[in-house]
Amino acid sequence: MNIYLIIIVVALVLEFLLYNLSRYLDLRNMAPELPVEFKNYYNNDEYGRSKEYLIENSLFAYLKSSFDLAISLMVIFSGFFNIIDLWIRSFEFSSIVSGLLFFGCLFMLQDVINIPFSIYRTFIIEEGFGFNKTTIKTFILDKIKSYFLVIVFSGFIMTIILYFFENLGAGAWLYAWIIISLFLILIQPLFTLFIAPLFNSFTPLKDGSLKERINDFLKSVKFPIGQIDVMDGSRRSSKSNAYFSGFGKNKRIALFDTLIEKHTENELISIIAHEVGHYKMRHNIKGIILGIVQMGLVFFLLSLFLENVVLFDAFKMKNVSVYAGLLFFSILYSPIDLIMSFFGNFISRKHEFEADKFAKNTTDSVEHLIDGLKKLTVTNLGNLTPHPLSVWLYYSHPPVLQRIKALKKNV
């Protein structure tokens, strides 16, 4: 039997079992009694609602992951990729155009299949728990905008990568690595200037006490910033958040309007201090460097497998091509990618603790950040007691109770 087919199928099944085991353990790990840290933030009924939200999302994840696994195995064993490839080849376009059509067809098919799940999650689960503010019109417009971005950005990047691997021989992986690395560096300003405004409105924070206090804090920690905006997060959800974007003096703070509504000024300053901590400790730069190094590994390995006939046989392909090789290698690489994600999440959780410590050391009271974290968790119905396996698998942030414990240490 084809060795690559065995590796791919085993990896798909093991990943399915691993993630669903973690979800099962999360449900088993739900604390029957409300943790003492949240006694003044949840009552028993509200805590019960947060557990119902976890159960609902877990059942949905079981269904979605089972469906995805079934579709993946069916596509692999049926030779579906070969059917799409032969159909596209019948038009006799250039290899680059054929590659773009190949990926475009697969993307659209996958997206259409996933639309019912997106609708159910948004308009049934999120709506049922009072989070959803997305209208049908907004949902459709978001889809159209997403397609536009995929065509522009993914189409441009894919064209360059296909050209390199079609024409530059053994050194193609190096050129592709350089281009993608530049993209990783540029994506933040591109997101700030072009992508984010496509989906949300950003208005400058009005003059007043909050703006003055934010500016005073930023001056005290010598952190220049271009603008402070309020984002209409309530347009889609009642959940709260905040983020920084950009580099240098063009950095921008985006505060969800829901965040401002539900938090005191002291809590907002502490939350902003946490985000500043990420920048002060170069977490964003470290993340970009890690992404660039990982991408270099991906492209180097890709160059070794790109036209591997045995790999193409695993997918019942009649023709070998660069574009199909890109897809098949990405599927073969998925077990390594899974392992790398564990490492990446571990680093991310470490950075969150460090940013919390920075906020603790630069604001008046650690209690404000703790209160802010508690309110965010309650507002978003976060899981208070995730199982360690779930944390290890896919938590980019430490569980809230661990963050609170770390903040209270040596207070």
Q: What string of DSSP letters covers 224-270?
A: --SEEEEE-GGGTBS---EEEE-SGGG-EEEEEHHHHHHS-HHHHHH
Predicted local confidence at residue 239, as pLDDT: 79
**Is the residue at 349 inside a domain?**
yes
- Residue 221 in any domain: the answer is no
Identify whether the C-beta of residue 374 lies closer than 8 Å to the C-beta of residue 359: no
**pLDDT score recorded for residue 411:** 54
In a domain, 273, yes or no: no
Determine the pLDDT at residue 248.
65
Is 393 within a domain?
A: yes
Which residue type does 376 have? L
pTM of the model: 0.89
Environment class of residue 363 by beta-carbon count within 10 Å: exposed (0-12), middle (13-18) or buried (19+)? buried
Helix (H/G/I), strand (E/B), else coil: 203 = strand
SS3 state at 379? helix
Cα(216)–Cα(222) distance, rounded to whole angstroms?
Answer: 10
CA atoms within 13 A on the CB side of 275: 20
Q: Estimate the share of the chain in helix, then strand, then coil, as percent rounded to the nearest 5.
A: 75, 5, 20
What is the extent of the structural domain holding 72? 3-201+280-408
Those residues of the chain that have pLDDT short of 70 are: 246-250, 410-411
* pLDDT the model gives residue 47: 87
Domain contains 242: no
Asked if residue 360 belongs to a domain, the reply is: yes
First to last CA, the chain: 61
Q: How far apart are CA 273 and CA 220, in angstroms?
A: 11
234 inside domain: no
Amino acid at the residue 156? F
Domain total of the chain? 1
Identify whether 246 is part of a domain: no
226 CB contacts (<8 Å, ≥6 apart)?
246, 249, 250, 251, 252
Instruction: Identify the pLDDT of residue 270.
Output: 92
